[in-house]
C-alpha cells in the first residue's frame, strides 16, 4: 500500500537509528520480555530484530499462534466431520496442514474428503448457502481479532446447515497464566496490535498491578517493534510500577472496539479452555452461548474423536516453544525432521508459528 | 492470523463496502464498526473492517518517535 502514513513507518533511516539505540542500551541485569503474537514473531524474525538486542535482553515468543494452541481434539473433531458422508469442512489456511492425533485436514482432502480452505467466515456461510443439501462445518479458530468477524457472520440468521467447531481463545487470561506460572520471568509484554483493537489499552489494565507486568501495544513495522522494545526496557530498568502504554494509537484506542465486543458477547460466552501442550487456562476460551448452542458442530452431529486425542507428538517441542521455554533452533528436529513441508507439530506449520518464522528467516548457508 | 490490511473505503452499501489498496479492490463487511464514511482508512481482517486507521495519529506518532530518537545521539534514551 502506498499511503504516506503506512510507508512512513518503514523509514529505513529511522529504523536504523532505533536499532542502534536498542543495541546501545546498557542493562545492569538480565531482562526477559515476551510477545504473544505470531505476526510480531514474523516481523521480528524478518527484520532480524534479535540481532540488535543488547547483552542480557531476551525477547521470547509466547503463545501467540491460535492454531498452535488449538488442542488436537478440535482438529480431530474436524477430521471426524470430514469423514462423514456429504459433509464439507471449511478451515482457515494455516489450520489445514496442522497434524492432529491421526490425521490432518490436508490428509483428509488428499484422501478425497471435502475440505475447503477459506479466508473469511463469510466464505463458510456462502458455502452453506450454495450447498443446502450438505452439512458445512467451520473450524472457527482465532483470538479476539477473529472472534469479531466470526460472531458477526453467525449473527444474521446463518444457514441451518452451518455449524462450527469453536476454537477461540483470549489473550488476557493467557498473559495472567504466564505471569502466575513464572515463565521467564517475564517483566514486559509486547502486546498484540490487532487483538488490541478489540480490547483497547484498558483491556490490559489488569497488568498494572503489583503482580502484573509492563506492556506496550505495538504495530508490526520494524519501527513500531523497535520503539516498543526500547520503551519496555526503559520501564523495566527504571523499576517503574507496571504500566501499559499504547504505541499503536493509529488503530488502537483506549476503550477498544466496543461494538466488536458486544457482537462477540451476544454470540459467545467465556469458558475454561485447553491450550495445546499448556493445559487448562481459566475463562480463556469462547463457545456459543444461549441461543447459539445449536451452532456447535460436535453437539449437533455427535462428533467424536476416533481415538483419544494426543496433543504432543513424541519429540515435538512446540508446547515449550510457545511458552518461550525452548528456542526453535535448539529443537533436535528443527530444520531436519521438521520443516514447513513436513511439519512435526503446529509451530512449524502455521503462518503464525514461531518455528515457521525462524525457519523462514534462518541464515542461509553460503555455498563455497 | 493477526493479519490486518490497511485499505481505503471507496464504496458503501449498508453493511457492505468496497475497499481499495494498491490497486486491489475487495468487498468487505462493516458490521464491526459504526460511522464509516467514504475515504476512511480501515484495517481489514478476514473480510471485515475491524477498526479505522487514523492517518494523522499515525504521522504524529512517527513525529514523536523521530523527536525522541534524534535527540540523545549519545545513546541515552530520552523521554
Which tens digit of pLDDT belongs to each residue from A304-330?
A: 999 999 999 999 999 999 998 999 999
Residue B66 has pLDDT above 90, yes or no: no
Residue A117 lies in a domain: yes
Residue A22 has pLDDT above 90, yes or no: yes
Mean pLDDT score across all residues of chain A: 94
The answer to whether the beta carbons of residues A264 and A286 sit under 8 Å apart is yes
CATH code assigned at B27: 2.30.30.140
Q: What residues contact A178, with CB distance under 8 A and at least 6 apart?
A: A34, A62, A63, A184, A186, A323
Q: Which residues in chain B have Cβ-Cβ distances shorter than 8 Å to A18?
A: 65, 69
Of B63 and A162, the structure prediction assigns the larger pLDDT to A162
- Return the half-sphere exposure (C-beta side, CA atoms, 13 A cut-off) of residue A314: 0
- Give me the residue from B3, B33, B66 closest to A14, CB to CB: B66
Of B12 and B6, the structure prediction assigns the larger pLDDT to B12
**Region A261-273: what's the mean pLDDT?**
98
Residue B66 lies in a domain: no
Residue A262 lies in a domain: yes
Strand partners, A268: A288
Q: Which residue of A has its CA nearest to B59?
A: A5
Straight-line distance from the first to the last Cα atom of chain B, in angstroms, rounded to the nearest whole number = 33
Residue A141 has pLDDT above 90, yes or no: yes
B64: helix, strand or coil: helix
Residue B2's pLDDT is what? 56
Residue A367's pLDDT is what? 64
Q: Which residues in chain B have Cβ-Cβ distances shorter than 8 Å to A264?
A: none
A87: helix, strand or coil: coil
- Give me the residue from B5, B32, B59 closest to A148, CB to CB: B32
Angle (CA) A338 A342 A347, round 5°: 55
Subunit contact B1:A352, Cβ cutoff 8 A: yes
Give DSSP secondary structure letters for A194-249. THHHHH-GGGGGGGSSTT--EEEEE-SSHHHHHHHHHHHHHHHHTTPPP-EEE--T
**What whole-number distance in Å separates Cα of residue A55 and Cα of residue B42?**
39
Provide the domain limits for residue A110. Answer: 72-171+256-301
Residue B75's pLDDT is what? 45
A358: helix, strand or coil: helix
Residue B77 lies in a domain: no
- Our count of domains for chain B comes to 1
- Other C-beta atoms closer than 10 Å to the C-beta of A47 total 18
Q: What residues contact A136, with CB distance under 8 A and at least 6 apart?
A: A87, A88, A89, A90, A124, A127, A128, A159, A161, A162, A163
CATH code assigned at A295: 3.40.50.11740
Residue B79's pLDDT is what? 43
**Region A75-97: what's the mean pLDDT?**
96
Residue A219 has pLDDT above 80, yes or no: yes
Q: Which residues in chain B have Cβ-Cβ distances shorter than 8 Å to A38?
A: 1-2
* Helices (runs of H) and strands (runs of E) counted in chain A: 14, 11
**Region A172-196: what's the mean pLDDT?**
95
**Region A196-222: what's the mean pLDDT?**
97
Residue A150 lies in a domain: yes
Complex-level ipTM:
0.93
Cis status, amide bond into A294, omega within 30 of 0: no
pLDDT digits 0-9 by tens, A232-263: 999 999 999 999 999 999 999 999 999 999 99
Residue A95 lies in a domain: yes
Residue A86 lies in a domain: yes
Provide the domain limits for residue B39. Answer: 5-54
Residue B59 lies in a domain: no
Cell numbers at A211, concatenated? 503482580
pTM: 0.93
Q: Which residues in chain A have Cβ-Cβ distances shorter than 8 Å to B75?
A: 20-21, 24-25
Strand partners, B53: B41
pLDDT digits 0-9 by tens, A335-356: 999 999 899 999 998 888 899 9
**Region A167-172: what's the mean pLDDT?**
98
Least confidently predicted of A81-95, A115-129, B56-70: B56-70
Residue A199's pLDDT is what? 98
The answer to whether the beta carbons of residues A183 and A210 sit under 8 Å apart is no
Inter-CA distances, A258 with A251, B7, B25, B34, B76, Å: 14, 21, 27, 10, 39
Residue B28 lies in a domain: yes
- Our count of domains for chain A comes to 1
The alpha-carbon gap from A366 to the nearest alpha carbon of chain B, in Å, equals 32
Q: Which residues in chain A have Cβ-Cβ distances shorter than 8 Å to B32?
A: 148-149, 152, 257, 259-260, 263
Q: Which residue of B has its CA nearest to A261?
A: B32
The alpha-carbon gap from A343 to the nearest alpha carbon of chain B, in Å, equals 19
Q: Which residue of B has its CA nearest to A221?
A: B62
Subunit contact A3:B8, Cβ cutoff 8 A: yes
Amino acid at each position: 500500500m502506498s499511503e504516506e502514513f503506512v510507508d512512513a513507518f518503514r523509514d529505513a533511516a529511522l529504523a536504523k537509528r532505533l536499532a542502534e539505540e536498542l543495541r546501545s542500551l546498557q542493562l545492569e541485569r538480565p531482562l526477559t520480555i515476551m510477545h504473544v503474537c505470531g505476526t510480531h514473531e514474523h516481523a521480528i524474525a524478518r527484520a532480524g530484530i534479535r540481532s540488535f538486542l543488547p547483552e542480557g535482553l531476551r525477547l521470547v515468543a509466547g503463545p501467540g499462534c491460535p492454531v498452535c494452541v488449538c488442542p488436537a481434539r478440535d482438529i480431530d473433531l474436524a477430521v471426524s466431520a470430514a469423514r462423514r458422508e456429504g459433509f464439507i469442512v471449511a478451515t482457515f489456511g494455516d489450520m489445514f496442514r496442522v497434524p492432529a492425533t491421526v490425521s490432518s485436514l490436508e490428509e483428509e482432502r488428499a484422501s478425497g474428503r471435502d475440505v475447503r480452505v477459506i479466508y473469511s467466515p463469510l466464505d463458510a456461510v456462502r458455502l452453506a448457502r450454495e450447498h443446502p443439501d450438505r452439512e458445512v462445518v467451520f473450524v472457527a479458530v482465532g483470538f479476539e481479532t477473529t472472534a469479531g468477524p466470526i460472531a458477526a457472520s453467525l449473527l444474521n440468521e446463518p444457514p441451518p446447515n452451518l455449524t462450527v467447531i469453536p476454537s477461540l481463545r483470549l489473550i488476557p487470561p493467557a498473559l495472567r497464566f504466564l505471569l502466575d506460572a513464572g515463565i521467564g520471568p517475564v517483566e514486559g509484554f509486547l502486546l498484540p496490535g490487532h487483538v488490541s483493537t478489540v480490547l483497547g489499552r484498558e483491556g490490559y489494565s489488569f497488568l498494572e498491578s503489583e503482580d502484573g507486568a509492563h506492556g506496550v501495544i505495538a504495530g508490526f513495522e520494524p519501527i513500531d517493534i523497535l520503539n516498543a522494545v526500547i520503551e519496555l526496557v526503559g520501564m523495566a530498568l527504571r523499576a517503574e510500577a507496571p504500566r501499559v502504554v499504547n504505541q499503536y494509537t493509529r488503530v488502537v484506542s483506549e476503550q477498544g472496539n466496543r461494538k466488536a465486543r458486544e457482537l462477540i458477547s451476544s454470540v459467545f460466552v467465556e469458558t475454561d479452555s485447553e491450550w495445546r501442550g499448556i493445559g487448562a487456562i481459566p475463562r480463556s476460551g469462547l463457545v456459543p452461548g444461549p441461543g447459539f448452542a445449536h451452532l456447535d458442530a460436535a453437539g449437533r452431529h455427535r462428533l467424536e474423536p476416533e481415538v483419544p486425542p494426543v496433543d504432543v507428538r513424541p519429540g515435538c517441542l512446540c508446547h515449550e516453544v510457545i511458552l518461550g521455554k525452548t528456542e526453535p533452533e535448539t529443537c533436535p528436529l528443527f530444520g531436519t525432521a521438521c520443516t514447513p513441508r513436513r511439519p512435526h507439530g503446529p509451530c512449524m506449520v502455521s503462518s503464525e508459528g514461531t518455528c515457521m518464522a525462524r525457519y523462514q528467516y534462518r541464515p542461509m548457508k553460503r555455498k563455497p | 492470523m493477526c493479519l490486518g490490511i490497511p485499505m481505503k473505503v471507496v464504496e458503501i452499501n449498508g453493511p457492505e463496502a468496497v475497499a481499495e489498496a494498491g490497486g486491489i479492490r475487495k468487498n468487505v463487511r462493516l458490521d464491526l464498526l459504526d460511522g464509516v464514511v467514504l475515504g476512511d482508512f480501515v484495517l481489514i481482517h478476514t473480510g471485515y473492517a475491524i477498526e479505522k486507521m487514523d492517518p494523522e495519529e499515525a504521522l504524529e506518532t512517527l513525529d514523536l518517535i523521530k523527536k525522541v530518537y534524534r535527540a540523545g545521539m549519545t545513546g541515552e534514551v530520552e523521554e
